[in-house]
Structures are given as structure tokens and as C-alpha cells.
Amino acid sequence: MDVRLARGSLEDVWVMRVPPGADLYRSIQDVAREHGIQSGLILGGAASLRTAVLRNLRRFPDFPVTDDDRRFFKLEAPLEMLSISGNISTLNGQVWIHAHVVVSSGTEEGRCYGGHLVAGSEVLTTAEIAIAKLGGLEMLRLKDPETVGAELFFKTS
């Protein structure tokens, strides 16, 4: 198996504050679109959430991975987002967000949940997210011959 590797540089760093009631995933996607961030990194952030919608694999899949291989779950409680990381690329010319998060519940034991962030995660009081635009590197989602899915590929300038 060959590792894909490309080199670029941090061009700009954007820090955003997402207000109560906003969809966290769509807010990151909207900011990336509005500011021309088609290749970037989600550096981190912190948030309180009313709901978190996450996706995880539920079994070892055959390729291609489909929604039958995934588990989508919605957590509805006061939640603290402890971490977020990921990347920003394009799929068929559209901004694509690939972000993973860890959230904790407000229970006494502070149970944690993690997974792939999807649309539908609602901000409770605030979300503070840092994203970086990359230079000299184009990150694209293209059909991978091995996984038959939209995987990360690179073009460098």
C-alpha cells in the first residue's frame, strides 16, 4: 500500500465563532466556501452543543463503504465538544468537510462520544473553531481504485 503524500504551506488561519442555534458542520462548510478555502485543515476548537450528530463504521465493510456499513446517531443533551480535527477538500468542485469530534455529556461521569461530524449538530452557546487555508497544495476527493470511495488525492503547484 502506497502512502499518498504532498507538501504545502499554511497560507491563512481563520478563527470563527459560531452562534447559538447554528449547524456546526454547515457553518464550517459555509465559511470555507465564502473565503475560498478549498484545501485546508481544521486545526481545533471548542464548543457547547445542544445536539451532536455523529457517524461511525458499525462493521468491517466490503468496498465500497455504504450507509449500511455505518451507524448514525444523534446525541441530545448539553454537550461539550472537547476536540475537532479534520480537513477541507473538494468533491466534484464543491467544498467537502471531513471532521472528527469528541463530545462529552453533562452527566456525572462525563461520558465521551466520538465520530465523524455530520450536518445536524446544533450549537448551544458557542463554537470557536480555527481553520487554515493551505497554499501550494490542492486537496481533492476522487474515486479511489482500491476503496471505490471518494478518498483524498493531491495536486501540488
Q: 155 forms bridges with which residues in the sheet?
A: 138
CA 18 to chain centre: 15
Domain count, the chain: 1
CATH code of the domain covering residue 20: 3.30.1330.80
**Domain with 57 in it:** 9-156
User: How high is the mean pLDDT in each 10-residue block of the chain (157 residues)?
Assistant: 88 97 98 97 98 93 87 94 98 97 89 96 98 96 93 91
The answer to the question of residue 2 being in a domain is no
Contact (Cβ atoms closer than 8 angstroms) between residue 28 and residue 47? no
Q: How much is the pTM?
A: 0.93
In a domain, 3, yes or no: no
